């Protein structure tokens, strides 16, 4: 399909918005100033070397946005600091100046994200200086496993939970992530003083082992930086070992088992942060908050806690990968939704995995802003969009009180392919449900597209 045919719907949706903007320009509705001044901007990036692999980015690599504080104002400049005319001539007024890693910060990333900002007034015929220092905005989580743990477990899943509901508020590591996995987690949208580590694994005897460990930043005995909450620039090094202080006398080479026959875990959490004199590291005490097994162990573990709550079944266990224009692309990618008490709300948010798709979503945002979330229920426009993306096949939006619905993420494949590959990133479809009794559920599906094989 021709790329321009795919985007035709987008062009139609934004036509009325474009005409309104043209009217504003012709009639002079937007506030402008004919008096000019100069902005002299200095951008710096904190740190001489990165905690991640590689080096800290240079100031020239920071993406700069200079925007008037007037409502609805377009940026006077948006682009790399290295490409910016500096000093820069701009109208008199009050401005917000931001500098950050190019692209939007995501909840979970494989690299650190730097950012900073300031506000200043531009005075007529004068040069006003602004200094922006970019600091790491996300928290690094790094895991490591002892040789004893690796020798005594065949597989495991470790989930870190910040105690807040919603997408991006848990981080999952499995054995497949390697022996030293790490991730950069953006926590500053919320105040997060405590994290909980949930360990679920299978030991070499085939037994299931579960532990829940909590740790609080303020419990660090020797200070904990500028905030009692986990913030950008903090580094958490979490080591998992087996407690072998009192080995079984019959098998001295084997770690001790606790009262319920499961191997004891020994979890150590080290917190590192920047100070004026360099990095400082302290150990945070941990607390085992594992709940004892509840009675009724012979009950079916697969039985849902409440069968009347909404459920979603994700294709590919929530992760779809394929090669651009390759034979491994799935024919469908249906999210199977069940709402026994009747659907009240279904909001779909899309996090684009590349710039092309982000541009497309921006083009239709005045009508359907998938980047902030679109209500799908009884939305006639959604039916038109999904049908257009799906090549003309009729695809209906969910209706209020529906007890089931199939959300065809595969309908987006044609336009996703036109936008190109995403790897190592992914397009993420976030789905939030609410039924008529107020029960909610949030899940997400990622689509990673690898470049075409030449």
DSSP helix/strand/coil, 396:
coil
Taking the model in full, what pTM does it have? 0.57
Enter the tokens of residue 63.
């993406």
CA dihedral 312→317→319→321, nearest 10 degrees, is -120
DSSP state of 82: G
Query: Within a 10 A sphere around the Cβ of 307, how many other Cβ atoms?
Result: 9
pLDDT of residue 397: 86
Which of 39, 198, 217 lies closest to 128, judged by CA?
A: 39
- Superfamily of structural domain 34-136: Immunoglobulins (2.60.40.10)
Per-residue pLDDT at 267 exceeds 60 = yes
| Region for residue 72 given its phi and psi (left: phi exceeds 0; alpha: psi -120 to 50; beta: otherwise) | left
Enter the tokens of residue 343.
């659907």
Report the C-alpha gap between 434 and 441 in whole angstroms: 7
Is residue 421 within 8 A of residue 449, CB to CB? The reply is yes
Average pLDDT over residues 401-422: 89
Task: Report in angstroms the alpha-carbon separations of 448 from 307, 415, 417.
Answer: 32, 14, 11
pLDDT of residue 176: 84
Average pLDDT over residues 86-100: 96
Mean pLDDT, all residues of the chain: 81
**DSSP β-bridge partners for residue 423:** none
DSSP state of 263: B
Per-residue pLDDT at 289 exceeds 90 = no
Enter the tokens of residue 337.
């939704």
Average pLDDT over residues 102-128: 93
Domain ranges of the chain: 34-136, 139-288, 311-450
Per-residue pLDDT at 22 exceeds 80 = no
Residues above pLDDT 90, as percent of the chain: 37
Is residue 159 within 8 A of residue 185, CB to CB? The reply is no
Report the C-alpha gap between 37 and 120 in whole angstroms: 12
pLDDT digits (tens, 9 = 90+) for 228-238: 889 998 999 99
Of 243-252, 277-286, 319-328, the poorest mean pLDDT is in 243-252
pLDDT of residue 263: 66
């Amino acid at each position: 399909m021709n790329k321009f045919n795919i985007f035709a719907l987008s062009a139609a949706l934004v036509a009325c918005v474009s005409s309104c903007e043209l009217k504003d320009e012709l009639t002079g509705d937007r506030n402008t100033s004919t008096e000019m001044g100069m902005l002299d901007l200095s951008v710096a990036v904190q740190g001489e070397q990165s905690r991640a692999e590689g080096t800290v980015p240079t100031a020239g690599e920071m993406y700069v946005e200079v925007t008037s504080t007037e409502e609805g104002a377009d940026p006077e400049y948006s682009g790399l600091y290295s490409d910016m005319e500096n000093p820069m001539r701009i109208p008199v007024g009050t401005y917000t100046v931001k500098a950050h890693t190019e692209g939007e910060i995501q909840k979970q990333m494989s690299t650190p994200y730097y950012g900073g900002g300031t506000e200043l007034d531009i005075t007529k015929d004068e040069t006003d200086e602004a200094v922006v220092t970019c600091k790491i905005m996300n928290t690094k989580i790094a895991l490591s496993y002892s040789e004893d743990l690796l020798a005594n477990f065949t597989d495991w899943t470790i989930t870190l939970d910040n105690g807040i509901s919603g997408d991006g508020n848990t981080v999952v590591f499995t054995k497949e992530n390697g022996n030293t996995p790490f991730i950069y987690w953006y926590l500053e949208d919320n105040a997060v003083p405590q994290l909980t580590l949930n360990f679920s694994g299978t030991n070499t005897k085939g037994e299931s082992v579960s532990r829940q460990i909590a740790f609080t930043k303020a419990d660090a005995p020797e200070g904990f930086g500028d905030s009692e909450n986990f913030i950008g620039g903090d580094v958490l090094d979490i080591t998992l070992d087996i407690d072998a202080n009192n080995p079984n006398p019959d098998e001295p080479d084997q770690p001790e088992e606790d009262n319920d026959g499961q191997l004891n875990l020994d979890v150590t959490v080290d917190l590192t942060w920047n100070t004026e004199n360099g990095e400082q590291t302290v150990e945070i005490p941990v607390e085992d908050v594992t709940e004892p097994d509840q009675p009724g162990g012979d009950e079916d573990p697969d039985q849902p806690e409440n069968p009347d709550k909404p459920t979603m079944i994700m294709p590919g266990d929530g992760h779809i990968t394929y090669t651009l224009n390759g034979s491994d692309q799935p024919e469908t990618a249906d999210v199977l939704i069940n709402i026994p008490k009747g659907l009240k709300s279904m909001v779909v948010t899309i996090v684009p995995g590349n710039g092309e798709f982000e541009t497309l979503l921006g083009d239709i945002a005045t009508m359907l802003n998938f980047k902030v979330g679109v209500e799908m229920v009884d939305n006639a426009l959604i039916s038109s969009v999904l049908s257009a993306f799906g090549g003309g096949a009729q695809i209906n939006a969910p209706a209020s009180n529906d007890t089931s619905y199939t959300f065809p993420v595969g309908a987006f494949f044609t336009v996703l392919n036109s936008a190109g590959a995403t790897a190592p990133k992914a397009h993420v479809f976030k789905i939030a449900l609410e039924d008529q009794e107020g029960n909610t559920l949030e899940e997400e599906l990622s689509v990673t597209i690898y470049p075409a094989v030449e």
